[in-house]
């Protein structure tokens, strides 16, 4: 008889230290203790998240496989061995939703090829939460990830994004390394039209959350304290 395959669960994680009951479904909380193998971006933060979800968990009895930019591609196949042997496996990114602006896509793609059932769990997605609260076009939008680092290339990317906003009303969503957040807003003010609207969505799900949409001319001189804080940026109209 053929071996029944396990399931790969994609587990969202809050971006901030918050009460999980405010942003995680009870189903997630009840499911997590049934999983003994986790593919994670960072073992330490994953252990902290799991312990916060269920204080009775014996963390030392769990197995963690680290998946980040340093992971060798050939190692990923071994991470799915428990699922191939019928056991459930969870994927946890550092913060947010696995495989969406976070590691995980490669292991999901491999699971799909091997016929392993993939179940994305409901939970906080800062990208979608920011879009929901921005007031921008939710019918047509593009997630740009990180913009180019080179100043000239970044300027060209911003002009192209403004063009898509003007021509199609397409909302432009992007992120930055948290310690460069303020510099990014300064660049937007410098290189984009003052009439272009910018939404800053920072530390969503936390009591210190910022979710404000203003024209770039209004943001000038009024950039909030978003240094080193995970933030989503949206340009629109």
> Is residue 141 pLDDT above 90, yes or no?
yes
Number of separate domains in the chain: 2
Read off the DSSP letter of residue 220: T
Do 108 and 146 lie in a common domain?
no
Residue in 2, 7, 94 with CA at minimum distance from that of residue 48: 94
* CATH code of 17's domain: 3.40.1010.10
Do 170 and 191 lie in a common domain?
yes
Are the CB atoms for 196 and 215 separated by under 8 Å? yes
Are the CB atoms for 35 and 116 separated by under 8 Å? no
CB under 8 Å to 209, separation ≥6 — which residues?
201, 202, 203
Tell me the average pLDDT across 81-110: 91
Do 131 and 110 lie in a common domain?
no
Do 103 and 143 lie in a common domain?
no
Do 113 and 143 lie in a common domain?
no
> Is residue 217 pLDDT above 60, yes or no?
yes
Query: What integer pLDDT is reported at residue 19 of this predicted model?
Result: 73
**Reading across the β-sheet that carries 231-236, which strands appear in turn?**
141-146, 171-175, 231-236, 197-202, 210-215
> Is residue 208 pLDDT above 90, yes or no?
no
Do 76 and 144 lie in a common domain?
no
Tell me the average pLDDT across 182-187: 96
Question: CA–CA separation, 188 vs 194, rounded Å?
Answer: 9
Residue ranges making up the domain that contains 229:
126-236
Helix (H) or strand (E) holding 109: helix 105-114
Tell me the average pLDDT across 41-54: 92
Q: C-alpha 2: how far from its chain's center?
A: 36
More confident residue, 69 or 168: 168
> Is residue 1 pLDDT above 70, yes or no?
no
> Is residue 2 pLDDT above 70, yes or no?
no
Read off the DSSP letter of residue 34: G
């Amino acid at each position: 008889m053929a071996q029944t395959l396990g399931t790969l669960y994609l587990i969202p994680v809050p971006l901030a230290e918050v009460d999980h009951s405010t942003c995680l479904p009870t189903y997630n909380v009840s499911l997590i203790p049934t999983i003994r193998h986790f593919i994670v971006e960072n073992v330490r933060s994953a252990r902290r998240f799991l312990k916060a979800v269920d204080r009775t968990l014996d963390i030392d009895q769990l197995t963690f496989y680290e998946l980040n930019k340093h992971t060798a591609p050939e190692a990923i196949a071994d991470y799915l061995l428990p699922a191939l042997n019928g056991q459930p496996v969870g994927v946890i990114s550092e913060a947010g939703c696995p495989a969406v602006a976070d590691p995980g896509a490669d292991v999901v793609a491999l699971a799909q090829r091997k016929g392993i059932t993939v179940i994305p769990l409901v939970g906080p997605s800062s990208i979608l939460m920011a879009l929901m609260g921005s007031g921008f076009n939710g019918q047509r939008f593009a997630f740009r990830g990180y913009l180019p680092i080179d100043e000239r290339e970044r300027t060209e990317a911003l002009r192209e994004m403004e063009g898509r906003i003007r021509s199609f009303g397409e909302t432009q969503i992007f992120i930055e390394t948290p310690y460069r957040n303020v510099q990014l807003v300064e660049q937007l003010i410098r290189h984009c039209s003052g009439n272009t609207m910018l939404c800053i969505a920072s530390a969503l799900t936390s009591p210190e959350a910022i979710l404000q949409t203003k024209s770039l001319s209004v943001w000038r001189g009024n950039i909030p304290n978003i240094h080193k804080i995970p933030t989503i940026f949206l340009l629109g109209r």
